[in-house]
Amino acid sequence: MSPSETELMLKGYGLTTAEIFYRMPDYTHVLNSYIWQDYDLAPDHPKLFEFVEFWQTSLDGPLHSVRFSHRKLLKSGEWQNQVGEFTLH
């Protein structure tokens, strides 16, 4: 069973978004883009590099470039357990 998004964020993972530019195999003058997103650990980004290696070994479209950004959605000190109930009407 894979961990939930909240569990990953509490372990220090952040959302990594990569825009991958690649050339079409039959039309090398055409650039296409592909958006990839996953929870990953900065600064090493093991999941992103694993995906790029998979692309290079298994897919025909040669890579042109990769741009990525990383954002930690939870930082230490931001997570607090709140106990309470509000009743409306």
The predicted pLDDT at position 78 comes to 60
Q: Where are the domains of the chain?
A: 5-71
pLDDT tens, N- to C-terminus, the chain (89 residues): 778 888 888 888 889 999 999 998 898 899 999 999 999 998 899 999 999 999 999 998 999 999 999 988 766 566 666 677 666 66
The predicted pLDDT at position 77 comes to 60
Q: Is residue 17 within 8 Å of residue 66, measured between CB atoms? A: no
The predicted pLDDT at position 32 comes to 93
Nearest to 13 by CA among 33, 40, 34, 32: 40
